[in-house]
Structures are given as structure tokens and as C-alpha cells.
Structure 1
Amino acid sequence: MTSRPNIRTAALTGLAPAVWGSTYLVATELLPPDRPLLATTVRALPGGLVLLALGRRLPAGVWWWRAPVLGVLNIGAFNFLLFLAAYRLPGGIAAVIMSAQPMFVVVLAALFLGERIRALHALACVMGAGGVALLVLRGAAPLDALGVLAAVGGALCMGLGITLTKRWGRPEGVGLLTFTGWQLTAGGLVLLPFWLSLEGLPDSLTGSNVLGFAHLITLGAVLSYFVWFRGIERLPAVAVSFLALGSPVVATLLGYLVRGETLSVLQLVGMAVILGAVVLGQRPPPVPAAGPEPARRNLHEPHPARSGETVREGGRPGGRTRP
């Protein structure tokens, strides 16, 4: 059974995908339209720079290249590919393909972390993908090759980011907020030239735009990635990967509650299946049974004679032997 501290840690870590599930609603209701690169860059870079200023520490040693790699995988490339897939793959296909992310982590954790591939995790992967399909798919939709590649690439980036973050850990003496700031800054800097060259600056900003950006920077980046990286430190990589399946569930619920979208019986079944997959993904590996305890010598029995000694009367070694 999963211990209570692990359940609390998993619940707190699951808040990050829940917040990320609100990104679509925030982007469509509060942000300037058709500017995904603007949204992802502003989401990452300002918060990362603030955390760098507060931490007053830059990466050193091997971390001058490890931190940017993690920032690109966890934030920069992942968000870019996610939005690209969402724009080119209608009907929730992008979400279904992205739900393959736990499968990647199961394999990567076996290769890089030595975690054994378990049948329970394979079942949870199938349940997660099937649940997301029930939740978001709406009829037949054409497959765009670039969109499919972007979705697969995004799932792989997230899976590799989780695995390497777990493998490399955090440098000694560096706080988690500073560590988060390194990655947010690196991810935002990677996105910056794409945003400026492909979208450019918006003509104007409304009060709603400012509110939406504030949400993305604080809850959507700084706080959510802080608890996400904290969870990666304290939970198995595979367990963390299944928590990400909560994002499409929250997105669907917010669409129903805020935008008046319909919620069918199949979608409710999909949510239940996803929840089951998340719970299965949190189960730790079975503890091997302890071997039989060696039999204890009866303290009332006489001590056996040492090699080469004789036993005298009364059972004590040494002395004259009994006739």
C-alpha cells in the first residue's frame, strides 16, 4: 500500500497538472487570440527571471548545461510542441497522443533509473490512454503528419524531462525555487526568438490580458512547476508521469462549468478510467518477503565443546575426561 506521506505528496504534485489544465480556458478567454508562443514565453520567462533574482545563484559546473537541457525539455520545447499539436490536430487527438507520455517514462525509467517495468504500470498506461480517448475524442478527424510528430515529440520531451530531473536530482545547496527559476528562464529564452520572429508584439493589452498573463506566470509557472519538481524529487518517476493525466480532466470540467460545454456519460466513464490509471500508477513495487529467521540457540542448552577440547563433568570444557 502507498504510505500516507506519499499520498499527500502525490496529491500536492497533482495540483500542477490541474493548474495546467486551466491553461486552455485562460488562453481562450483572457489572452490575445492566436498567440500561443506569446503565452508560453510570458508564462516561463518573467517568473524564471524573478526567481533567479531572488536566489542570486546561477548554474555552475555540470549544471551550466544540465539546467538548460531540463528547461528545454520540461518547459520550452514541451510547451511549443504542445501548442503546435493542439493547433494542427482537431478533435482532441493531440491530447490522446500526449497521454502516451507515461509509457515513455516507464521505458526511460527502466533505462536510466533502473526501475523495473511492471505489468501494473503497463495496464495503467493502457487505461490512461483509453480514458483520455473517451474524454476528448469527438468523431473522425483527419491526421496531420506535422501535428502528430509534434504531439509525440511533446510527450517524449515531458517523459525525458521527468526522467532526467529524477536522475540528476538537484545540486547540493541550491533551493528548489532557484532550481525552478533556472529551468523557467532556460525554457523562456529558447521560446523568445520563435515568439518574436513568428508572432511579434501585440498591438495592445487589455485588463483581461494582464489578468490572464498574471495567472500564467504565478499559478501556471512558478507555483505549479515548484510543486511539480518537488514531486519528482520525492516520488518515483513513473508515479509522477501518471499524475499528468489529470490535466485533460480539469480542462474538460472547466469547459463544462465555465463555458457551458456538454458532458456525456462516456466522458464521465473516461474520467473514472483516468482516475483509476493514476491510482494504479502510484502503487509502489512490492516489498520482497524476508527470508526465514535463523533458529536461535536455546540458552539453557550446554555450550558445545570447541574443537580439540574435552568435556569434564558438569558440561564445562577442559579438565579431566570422564572415565
Structure 2
Amino acid sequence: MSRGQATAIGFSAVALWALLALFTVGSAPVPPLQLNAICFAIGGTIGLIWVGATEGFSILRRIPARVYAFGTLALFGYHFLYFTALRLAPPAEASLIAYLWPLLIVVFSGLLPGERLKPLHVLGAVIAFAGAALIVMRGGISARPEALPGYGLAFLCALLWSGYSLMSRRLGDVPTAAVAIYCLATAVLSSLAHLALEPTHWPETPMGWASVIALGLGPVGLAFYTWDIGVKRGDIQLLGTASYAAPLLSTLVLVIAGVAAASPILLLAAALIAAGAFLAALAGRSK
């Protein structure tokens, strides 16, 4: 598999994450941690089916337990911290802080073997972040001092996911099959957290169930497998910058579905994100 092919596969995860908001809206009234548990169980199950049909389950026994612990901590920890941050701070600001992870990937990617960070990489990531900020912060800023713990947890989200992505690159020899175990372990931990912290609510309509299943198959399933391939074998700096397309694509999907209204801000945000990705790609081509 070429570097370009792996990058394209990795970006498919960003495209799938763009559907996260739409399907999450459709899954109401299922609470976040319960939704996490269901979706990661689906994602882990399809992963096991894929492993059994291709490489065989023996490959899972050769992966060290510490690798499984690392992946599970990242997947469960990110989502748990993110949901908690949204409860403690205004959702728009907390989401934007959590979405610093692509920028952190770009900045710290220079520490990886064989990678070189260039000014264009950083400039592209900052411009793309500005585009994402326009979308996330459309409701304005309502920061308040009591929300500081939520902001802190949101920043931990960014650190955790960027660290997971960068360390996955270092663990390039670990097969993507390991993600199936990450997902199943995350489903178990999410179930325990749900039982301790949330009431249980199930989807009330066929569309609700369809949304939950779609989440487990795509944004909270296949996306983690393709992201693993992308960060291990693709252009991680370009992937980091291009990840800022997720909030833009997500908003466009909501507009097309009639859930959100179109806005001129979307055009400016699209231009900024595209410009940032172009600069990152230009820097990658000049290696």
C-alpha cells in the first residue's frame, strides 16, 4: 500500500466522522455513554468478523496486552472526557478546545522518525483550525470561570487523541486488527460507566435504531480502522490538517438533511479549511 493510498483511507475516517452529528441526533433519547457502549460493541464485532475472515484470530494473541490497554484507554478515555467536558462547560467552546487534536498532531509529528515539521505544516493547520472555529463558534462565546474544569477536560481530550494517533504511528508493526479489541473493551467500560452515571433509554423508533446501527457501522466502527491505517502508513501531517474538514462536512450533512440552516459562514470556513489542507499538502510534497 502506497503512502498516498493510506492517506486516502485515513481521510475516509474523517468523512465518516462527518456523519456523527446527524446519526447522534437520530439516536435520541439514548444517553451518550449507553450509545458509546452499543456502537463500540457493533464496531468491535464487525472488526472480529473481518479478522476471522482474513488474518485469523491467532493474530490477536500475538499483540501485547499493553498495546490493548493503550488503545482502550485512548478510545474510552477520549469519549468519557469529551462527554464530561460538555456537561461542565458550554458545548461550543468545549468542542473547539477538544478539536485542537489535529493541530497537536501536526505540531508534534516532527518528533516521529522519518517526519519533518515545516512552517507550512503549522500554518496550514492553524488556518484550518480557524475555519473549524468559525463553524463551532457560530453561537458566540459564552465562557465563564466555573466552566474551567470542563475546558481542562476538553484539552485533555485533545492531548489524548493526538497522543493516540502519534503513538499509533510508532506502533506501525501492530496490525489494525487490534482495533477490534480496543472497541470491544471500550464497549465494556462504557457500559459500566453508563450504569453508574446515566439512566437507560433505548431508541423509540425504527429510525432511532437505524441511526444507532449506522453509528456503530461507520463513525464509531469502520472509521477507527481506517484512521489506524492512515496514521500508521499515510501522511500524518496532511491527515491532521485535513481532519478540520470534519466539522465542515458534518454541518453540510445537517444542512442537506434539513436539521440545520445554511450560512455564508460555511463558505468562508470551507475556504479556510481547504487552504490549510493545501498548504499542508504542499509542505508534504516538498519533502
Q: Which amino acid aligns with 2:16?
A: V
User: In the alignment, what sits opposite 1:304?
Assistant: none
Q: Which amino acid aligns with 2:125?
A: C
Q: Is residue 68–residue 182 contact of structure 1 (8 Å, CA) maintained in 2?
A: no
- Measure, in 2, the Cα distance between the counterparts of 1:202 and 1:162: 32
Q: Which amino acid aligns with 2:104?
A: F
How much does 1:188 deviate? 2.3
User: In the alignment, what sits opposite 1:320?
Assistant: none
Instruction: Tell me how large the CA RMSD over aligned residues is.
Output: 2.5
1:156 aligns with 2:153: no
How much does 1:119 deviate? 0.5
Aligned counterpart in structure 1 of residue 24 of structure 2, from 24, 27, 49: 27
Aligned counterpart in structure 2 of residue 165 of structure 1, from 161, 165, 168: 168
- Measure, in 1, the Cα distance between the counterparts of 2:15 and 2:87: 21
How much does 1:94 deviate? 2.8
Q: Is residue 14–residue 246 contact of structure 1 (8 Å, CA) maintained in 2?
A: no
User: What's the secondary structure of 1:14's corresponding residue?
Assistant: helix
How much does 1:60 deviate? 4.5
Q: Is residue 105–residue 241 contact of structure 1 (8 Å, CA) maintained in 2?
A: yes
The aligned runs of 1:1-323 (5 Å cut-off) are 6-33=3-30, 35-52=31-48, 54=52, 55-57=56-58, 59-60=60-61, 63-73=64-74, 75-90=75-90, 92-113=92-113, 115-137=115-137, 138-143=139-144, 144-171=147-174, 174=175, 176=176, 178-202=177-201, 205-282=204-281, 283-284=283-284, 286-287=286-287
Gap change, CA 1:88 and 1:264, over 3 Å in 2: farther
Gap change, CA 1:13 and 1:102, over 3 Å in 2: same
Gap change, CA 1:204 and 1:110, over 3 Å in 2: closer
- Measure, in 2, the Cα distance between the counterparts of 1:270 and 1:154: 23
TM-score, length-scaled by structure 2: 0.85
Which runs of 5 or more residues in structure 1 are unaligned?
288-323
Q: Is residue 96–residue 133 contact of structure 2 (8 Å, CA) maintained in 1?
A: yes
How much does 1:190 deviate? 2.9
Deviates more, 1:247-256 or 1:112-121: 112-121
User: In the alignment, what sits opposite 1:318?
Assistant: none
> Structure 1 runs of 4+ off > 6 angstroms?
none
How much does 1:167 deviate? 0.2
Structure having greater relative contact order (Cα 8 Å, sep ≥ 6): 2
- Measure, in 1, the Cα distance between the counterparts of 2:203 and 2:269: 40
How much does 1:134 deviate? 1.6
The structure whose Rg is larger is 1
Which runs of 5 or more residues in structure 2 are unaligned?
none
- Measure, in 1, the Cα distance between the counterparts of 2:88 and 2:22: 18
Listed one character per residue, the Cα deviations across residues 267-293 of structure 1 (whole Å, up to 9, x for unaligned) are 310121012212322342634xxxxxx
